[in-house]
Amino acid sequence: MKPQRSLEIGTGLFVSLGFAALFYLTMQLPGSGLTVGNDGGYRVTARFNNIGDLKRGSPVSMAGVPIGRVESVTFDSNNYRAVVTLRIDLQFNRIPDDSDASIQTQGLLGGKYVGIGPGGSETFLKEGSQIEFTQDAIVLESLVSKFFANMVSRGSEGDAAASEGDSKESGQ
């Protein structure tokens, strides 16, 4: 009877450890961490045609350094674009107002984040500014489908050239 009891305790500990690991990994996802207020920082917006899977809480970085978070993602039904509101930490208050924002991917198949490239203006982004220059997310599925469509069209061109060459040879 004693070996059965230790097996049950071991299984329970294993399952508990699994839940703890799952909780830890969930808290590491962008936007899932607990934040203490949104007092620090200033808000700027950027408009995109395609944001991919960018989510609230995703990082905002400049030169690879995290400088803020995505505060919200909404849809503007007047011009059919996504409006992304970014909260930039106050210590980064000298970002030129002609900077550009692009949606980038962390690693090969990682989550999306907003990367800001510096402009050259003497005036800086402030509360309520809008980033005018944006670059949409690159959607992997559309790239793959374009690649295969290109390969198919090249293949059919090659088939047409081969059959044209065959008909010339048979005519001689």
Q: What is the pLDDT of residues 63-103, one digit of tens each?
A: 999 999 999 999 999 999 999 999 999 999 999 999 999 99
**Do the Cβ atoms of 88 and 112 come closer than 8 Å?**
no
43 vs 70: CA distance, rounded Å: 9
Q: Is 103 left (phi over 0), alpha (psi -120 to 50) or beta?
A: beta
Residues 121-128, mean pLDDT to the nearest whole number: 93
The whole-chain average pLDDT of the chain stands at 83
Name the token pair of 148.
Answer: 């295969």
DSSP 58-110: -EEEETTEEEEEEEEEEEETTTTEEEEEEEE-TT----BTT-EEEEEESTTT-
Q: Report the alpha-carbon angle 124-129-134, nearest 5.
A: 95
Q: What is the pLDDT of residues 128-156, one digit of tens each?
A: 999 999 998 877 777 788 888 888 888 76
Q: What is the pTM of this model?
A: 0.64
3 alpha-carbon distance from chain centroid = 51
**Do the Cβ atoms of 111 and 133 come closer than 8 Å?**
no
